[in-house]
Amino acid sequence: MQLDMSTVKFSSHGLICAIAQDHATGEVLMQADMNEEALQKTLETGYAHYYSRSRKCLWKKGETSGHVQKVVSATFDCDRDCILLGIEQTGAACHTGARSCFHDPVIETKRGGLTFLGELERVVEDRKANPVEGSYTAYLFGRGIDKIAQKMGEEAVEVVIASKNEDKDELVREIADLTYHLMVLMESKGVTLEDVCTELKRRHK
């Protein structure tokens, strides 16, 4: 993709702020700098490149660790001096090994629902790839789709029953059970949250 760089408001140091956000969940993963070359490389290759002020050089995210960032979308802010990258993150975004660089809260708040669903999706995926003894999720995958589908049916019925009562807490618990088993079913069939969101967006026209 060719971009008219004259429309980008680089700082006096030739940099713009770049924010990497999980495309599926909206979770903010990291912030870094881009110079003109890094921005152009990102747009040309489809993978995030940044500029290191300390090393004074261009670098591709994940080039040595394998934790690359595939760019799905890129959006400038109103001043065109900051770019938001919607990415698919492989592995950890933070050099500490954490999923996100933003893990040192100053003001505690409830985590966003979509963000947690993304975390749950990754946990379920890991349990399938790396079974842990005693894990209920690994047990379900071990039993196969028939068992998973059976549990989905049972949990769906329990949600229906709970919805006929006046106990909101009970309904929340049953919906949580259903959601978890749905995530297991999705993973077993290779369906991602992104697939579902894409279909919902297609319908929302």
pLDDT band at residue 64 under the 50/70/90 scheme: very high
Share of the chain above pLDDT 70, in %: 96
* Res 1: pLDDT: 65
* Res 186: pLDDT: 97
Give residue-wise pLDDT tens across range 126-168.
Answer: 999 999 999 999 999 999 999 999 999 999 999 999 999 999 9
| Sign of torsion over alpha carbons 196, 198, 203, 205 | positive
Quote the CA–CA distance of 158 and 179 in Å, as a whole number. 12
End-to-end CA distance of the chain: 27
**Domains annotated on the chain, with CATH:** 5-89 (3.10.20.810), 113-203 (1.10.287.1080)
Q: Is the pTM of this model over 0.85?
A: no
* Res 17: pLDDT: 98
Under DSSP, the state recorded for 5 is G
Q: Could you tell me which residues come within 8 angstroms of residue 37 by beta carbon, excluding any fewer than 6 positions away? A: 49, 51, 58
Residue scoring higher pLDDT (7 or 25): 7
Count of Cβ atoms closer than 10 Å to residue 148 Cβ: 20
